[in-house]
Amino acid sequence: MPDCVISTDAATKLFSGKPAVRNVSLRVPTGSIYAFLGPNGAGKSTTIRMLLGLLRPSCGGIAIFGLDLRRHRNEILAHTGSLVETPSVYEHLSARENLEIPRRILDAPRSDIDRVLRIVGLEIASRKLVGTFSLGMKQRLGLAQALLGKRELLILDEPTNGLDPAGIQEMRSLIRQLPAQHGVTVFLSSHLLTEVEQVATHVGMLSQGELVFQGTIGELEGRRRSYLRVGVGDIESAWALLKARGWCVSQSNGYLVSSDTGAAAAMNRTLVEAGIAVHYLAVESASLEEVFLKMTQSEVN
């Protein structure tokens, strides 16, 4: 098994000459939960469709399990389960019958259906028609389809889309257990970092079709910048005073904000001596969500 399950080499996809995805070079380590993040329209689904062979890259290459996707599509897909956006199900069939179709194609043993139904917790509803299922149940059935057979990689496109908070929590705990308990590498996309930061080990951020960050969650944490937040009585006077003294400050949500965290005491003294009441003073760090938004929005802007 190579170190990277997915490895793309400047993968690019053009639609009518316009790039939807540009020079994306992903490295998804074996055994990781890789969160592929980006705002809506960033190119996540296009990238995922390329990884599944549904779209052909306009240029660049894609290797999965160390094999070229163009030449070894079926071999790769035999070990790759997927759930792309809304789950694809046949509503006139039962959950078990829905799983029987891919099972036959994968030539997996019949007992595999029971195994995946157990994993996603749909054993009791397995003989019910899928048309009667809630969206959460359909999503779990989609995940069960993706887990059928000997899957070593799961590609999940926005797996929590449309789910209620309980459903999101359920899906999250299902995903979290996959690498350890089933030896599966998970590649999942989302437009919300908060949704995946609790489960992901690695992160790739896409903005306007380009990969703007790729690394471990720890490396992303390293991008979190600390800043000084100051709450004062008269914000305009305080801001003018600190600017006049040469500090770089800005106003944000009724607070003064400065990247100069070492100047907390000096700023406090200056403000107090000038008769401006200071009611809040703290060094804070940007949340991962803020880092994500800054990275993706700065590209957009």
Partner 1 sequence: MFFRVLSGECLKLKRTLALWMALVSPLLMVLLQFGVSFKGASVFLRDGKDAWPPMVRQTVEVWTLLMMPLFVTLETSLLAGLENTGKNWKSLLALPSPRWTVYSAKLVVAIALLWAAHAVLIGGTIVSGLLLQLLHPALNLGNIPLSPFIPPMLRVSVSALLAVAIQHWVSLRWQSYTAAMGFGMCAMIAGVFASQSAALGSWFPWSLPIRAVMDGAAGQDRITALAVGGAIVAASMGCWEFVKREIA
Binding site for partner 1 (CB under 8 A): 15, 46, 49, 52-56, 73-78, 80, 82-93, 97, 100-102, 104-107, 142, 145
Nearer to partner 1, 55 or 192 (CB): 55
Nearer to partner 1, 39 or 142 (CB): 142
Give me the sign of the Cα torsion angle 192, 47, 9, 6: positive
Contacts of 34 (CB under 8 A, 6+ apart): 6, 28, 185, 186, 187, 188, 200, 201, 202, 203, 204
- Count CB atoms within 10 A of the CB of residue 164: 12
CA 298 to each of CA 45, 81, 207, 291: distance values in angstroms, whole numbers, following the listed order: 21, 34, 9, 10
CB of 159 to partner 1, least distance (A): 13
CB of 100 to partner 1, least distance (A): 6
Nearer to partner 1, 84 or 184 (CB): 84
Q: How many residues comprise the chain? A: 301
Contact (Cβ atoms closer than 8 angstroms) between residue 259 and residue 230: no
Nearer to partner 1, 53 or 231 (CB): 53
Contact (Cβ atoms closer than 8 angstroms) between residue 200 and residue 33: yes
Strands 59-64 and 202-207: unpaired
Contact (Cβ atoms closer than 8 angstroms) between residue 11 and residue 197: no
Rounded Cα gap, residues 89 and 83, in angstroms: 11
CB of 77 to partner 1, least distance (A): 4
Nearer to partner 1, 142 or 204 (CB): 142
CB of 127 to partner 1, least distance (A): 13
Nearer to partner 1, 116 or 249 (CB): 116
CB of 8 to partner 1, least distance (A): 17
Specify the DSSP element, H or E, that contains 267.
helix 264-273
CB of 108 to partner 1, least distance (A): 11
Nearer to partner 1, 105 or 272 (CB): 105
CB of 147 to partner 1, least distance (A): 13
Nearest to 113 by CA among 127, 133, 92, 129: 127
